[in-house]
Structure 1
Amino acid sequence: MAEKTVTFEEFQAHQQRENLWILLHGKVYDVAKFLDEHPGGEEVIVAEAGKDATESFEDVGHSDEARDLLKGMLVGTFAGSEKLKSAPVPTHTPGSTPKVVNNSGPGTVAFLVPLACLGAYFAYRYYGA
């Protein structure tokens, strides 16, 4: 049986959590049913919707077992590589709420709290004693 060819338009139509396809090594996989089981959480897969996830997939260093699981999710071969390269990358999947990134992080607090304590200590020693 010939492998199905997936067009760019068809791939782009499957970006919702309930019907999510990802692209790995030129192959399209339907991962919607796997989202709840993914050990790294569904967010990492959903973040790759609408784009080539090959680099992200390989950077994590997935096991042979994970690669074997993909075989059962195969939809077909992707035929829209040129369109995908020129298409704008979605910032979030349609129908979902975009995530707000907080860049202050714990680093700022972890730096300022000890600095304030140190300042209070020296102020007490200088003015209080």
Structure 2
Amino acid sequence: MGSDGKVFNLAEVSEHSSPKDCWLIIGGKVYDVTKFLEDHPGGDEVLLSATGKDATDDFEDVGHSSSARAMMDEYYVGEIDSSTIPTKQKYTPPKQPQYNQDKTSEFIIKLLQFLVPLAILGLAVGIRFYTKAA
């Protein structure tokens, strides 16, 4: 491995987030991938967008080959203090009032009981004036 296994916190690793100095956190380990940016098959933007956070999920989702995983050893600089990485929160949707089908259909029925006779009356009056005018 490339380093003595120093332990870094997230703030320290986050300082290395530019094309001239790029560090990633993958699997609890810290890698200085600055020299690899130009050679990365997915482009340097992919690596730069993964800085300042735990990039393990991003790395695993791509499905890197065993040779790509073996290359990581030469970029190793140390370990991450996992207590400095925020834990992922499970998304819980906001509580919403229960949908009550009965009250909604009641409202629609009352609304139609009011509007349908008005529409019939309006149509009758319109036909009456139209036939008188013609």
TM (norm. structure 2) is 0.59
Task: Quote the residue 2:43 is aligned against.
Answer: 41
Amino acid at match of 1:14: H
**Quick check: 1:82 aligned with 2:83?**
yes
Task: Quote the residue 2:34 is aligned against.
Answer: 32
Structure 1 residue ranges without an equivalent (≥5)? 87-129
Q: How does 1:15-30 map to 2 (within 5 A)?
A: 15-30=17-32
Kept after mapping to 1: 8 A contact 2:26/2:54 = yes
Structure 2 residue ranges without an equivalent (≥5)? 88-134
CA distance in 1, matches of 2:4, 2:86: 26
Amino acid at match of 1:85: P
How many residues are paired up? 85
Larger radius of gyration: 2
Task: Quote the residue 1:58 is aligned against.
Answer: 60
Q: Percent identity at matched positions? A: 42
Amino acid at match of 2:83: E
TM (norm. structure 1) is 0.61
Deviation beyond 2 Å, 4+ runs, structure 1: 81-84
